[in-house]
A = this chain, B = another copy of it.
């Protein structure tokens, strides 16, 4: 599972922590992460809460303005593929992963995004924007409100992400499945690896290394195994050692 590309990605579980502003906890890290460009191509397709593309872009722009960045919505370009190739920084916001992926297929953007990211364009994803960095969106928590032509995603990461990972609450009265149960069900049908990223965690990807960042540990699921990974761990090396 060697990565041969010039990745520079920040793949976050969530955009917003409880009682904080949008992107607030990530801003100190983003100053350095986006140091080579002040213009960020924003992909608003996931439309959280049904926000329009303009509204969502304004929200991202407002948060990133505080570190001197300007967001330009991909929907404002007549040629979005070209916009992806020309960008030095890209940010895909959260929302609904099905809607996001459907739009990326509709505009034929998956290949362009993948190539752009492989050649070193700084890519920030939060929630749905992180989900699409995995092999597929089969471990999203979102409601399947639209039917994309495939669940396959960018495959920048050699595993799948479960963003907003939630620990099982033993006192829960509701009979819906726990996140752990759902991911275990996924493993019944798919011989792949899933990383449950709690809110406040992110993956910092640089060339061949994928470090778990933030204060929290993350939860790795594969075959019949669950492992708790400490913050700071390098995932590509770990997966090689585990031979998965």
Is A80 engaged at the interface, CB distance under 8 Å to the other chain?
A: no
Give the residues from 183 to 218 in chain A that come closer than 8 angstroms, CB to CB, to chain B.
183-186, 188-190, 199
Closest chain-B Cβ to A83's Cβ sits at a distance in Å of: 24
Give the complex CA separation of A189 and B102 in angstroms: 12
Count identical subunits in the complex: 2
Q: Is the CB of B175 within 8 A of A16?
A: yes
Contact segment of A3-11, A28-36, A43-51, A66-74: A43-51
Q: Is the CB of A188 within 8 A of B50?
A: yes
Is A17 engaged at the interface, CB distance under 8 Å to the other chain?
A: yes
Q: Is the CB of A175 within 8 A of B188?
A: no
Interface size on A, residues (CB 8 A): 42
Give the residue name and chain of the B residue nearest to A184 (CB): B50
Q: Is the CB of A181 within 8 A of B49?
A: yes
Give the complex CA separation of A14 and B50 in angstroms: 29
Give the complex CA separation of A177 and B98 in angstroms: 14
Q: Kindly identify which residue among B17, B50, B173, B177 contacts A175, using a CB–CB cutoff of 8 Å.
A: B17
Contact segment of A106-114, A133-141, A231-239: A133-141
Known: A174-B166, A175-B18, A190-B145. A185 touches B137 (CB 8 A): no
Is A96 engaged at the interface, CB distance under 8 Å to the other chain?
A: yes
Chain A binding site: helix, strand, loop or mixed by DSSP? loop
Give the complex CA separation of A173 and B169 in angstroms: 14
Q: Kindly identify which residue among B144, B164, B173, B174 contacts A137, using a CB–CB cutoff of 8 Å.
A: B144
Q: Is the CB of B150 within 8 A of A144?
A: no
Q: Is the CB of A145 within 8 A of B186?
A: yes
Q: In the complex, which residues of chain B have a beta carbon less than 8 angstroms from the beta carbon of A17? A: 175
Q: Is the CB of A141 within 8 A of B138?
A: no
A to B CB contacts below 8 Å, 22 in the list: A15-B175, A17-B175, A18-B174, A48-B177, A48-B185, A49-B185, A50-B184, A50-B185, A99-B185, A99-B189, A138-B147, A139-B143, A140-B143, A141-B143, A142-B182, A143-B183, A145-B185, A145-B189, A146-B189, A164-B176, A166-B174, A166-B176
